[in-house]
Structure formats: structure tokens, C-alpha cells
Amino acid sequence: VVACLIIVLALVWTMPEIPKTVKTGEICLPSEIGPLKCGSTADLLHGYLEREIATKYDEVKRQDQEKQENHLKKVSARLMNIYDKSFWEMKPAAKLTGKEQPDLRKSDISADMVPIREWCNGRELYDTKGFIRYGIRYRNGRLVVPVDGTYFIYSNLDFFESCNPSSGLPDVKDINKPIKHGIFKFNILEGEEEELVSNVQPHTISTNRYYNSYNSYVSSLAVLKAGDELSVKVSNITY
């Protein structure tokens, strides 16, 4: 209240001379389109204070942003001195190795692609070259992204399928259905799954007539948001 009274008094002292035709219940104040505007005291005062406060708020906001930027520069320099370059290399990262998969769910039996639901994680990573660090989380066979950013994603898989020894043809129901491998993302806020990168290969005739082996590597740069969940899918999990 005191601050408002001070502002009003300051406005009154600095106002130009008020015209003599001003009626009771009216006031004259500087406007956004001219030096002076007369009208309803409440409306003009409200509008004028709103404009002045908005200007002051923008100035305070700009000063606060400058302080934050200067503080960040000082903190960054101090951290660089303490941790050297390792501080800037602390980016979200993960590398997982697959393991034996559970039985197919009913919803996956007729699906075009099936997610790999089991990966070595937690203490199991100690026996592998895998790791999860700097905010990445493992949840239900998926990797959850901690912060927005551009990520390099990749997946490498080896496939094996049995073949008919008499002909070398793949022992599958539909040889025209290709072998697929891809990386997908899902965000609970969007509710839809999106394919980020994939690889498609046709079935081939086995040279040894007993089995076929395939290698599939996919990679891409992906713009991800915090909370995005990454999963790997294949057309046939039995491979």
C-alpha cells in the first residue's frame, strides 16, 4: 500500500498541468499514444500503472538473467578448475547387452515387430562391457532419457535362423516377410510410439544348408525429450 501511494504521489508531482475542463472523478495521465490523456480515474490509473510495472518488470527480468549468466560463467570456470574437462563429458550414456528373452506375450504373437524385453542391467552389467550413467534409467527393457537433447543411438544384433537341409531355404512360414530390426521411442505424454531408425533384410538361401546368419546395425542422431523411452524391436524374437 505504501509503495502504491508513493507511486501515485510521484505521478501527481511529475504530471503536466491538468486541463481546466477535467470533470470530477476524472484524471489526466501520460498515455501510450500522446503526452496526456484524460478520463476515468480508475481506468486511466490502472492502465498507466500496468504499463509502468510491465516496463520495470522487464528491466528486473533482464537484470536477473544477466546475473544468472554471470553466475553460471563463474561456476563453470570454478568447476573446470576442479574437474578439468571431465565435467563437460558427464553426459547421459548407456550401453546394454541382451540376454535370454521371456516367452512371447499374447499381444506380440501377431505383431509385425516384437520388443526385446530383457537386457543385462544393474549388477549384471559388471560382467559385460555395458554401463548406465549420468541420469539414464532402465525400465521394463527400455532406456529412459533424463534431459532434452540430441543423442546418438545405435543397436547391433546377430540373427540366426534354421534352414531346410535338403534345399537350404529358411524354415519359416512366410519367406517373403523380411527380417526387421529397429529402434523406437515412446513418451507417455504423447501416447504414441515412433520409429527412429530401422533396417530391413530379405531371407537368403543358406550356403551350409542348415542355418542362416545375419548381422544388423542401425544408428542415427535423434532429438529426444526428457522422459522418452527407447526400445529395440525385431520381426522375430526367436532369431
CA nearest neighbour of 26 among 13, 48, 45: 45
CA nearest neighbour of 181 among 143, 155, 209, 162: 155
Indicate the pLDDT class of residue 63, thresholds 50, 70 and 90. Answer: confident
User: Please, are residues 214 and 186 in contact by the beta-carbon 8 Å criterion?
Assistant: no
pLDDT score, position 46 = 73
Q: What is the mean pLDDT of the chain?
A: 82
Q: Quick count: other Cβ atoms within 10 Å of Cβ 83?
A: 12
* Residue 139, all three cell numbers: 525400465
Domains and CATH numbers, the chain: 103-119+136-234 (2.60.120.40)
pLDDT score, position 2 = 46
pLDDT tens profile 157-190? 999 999 999 999 999 888 889 999 999 999 988 8
pLDDT score, position 57 = 77
Indicate the pLDDT class of residue 227, thresholds 50, 70 and 90. Answer: very high
Query: Is residue 37 over pLDDT 60?
Result: yes
Q: Worst-scoring range by mean pLDDT, 8-17, 62-71, 157-166, 176-185?
A: 8-17
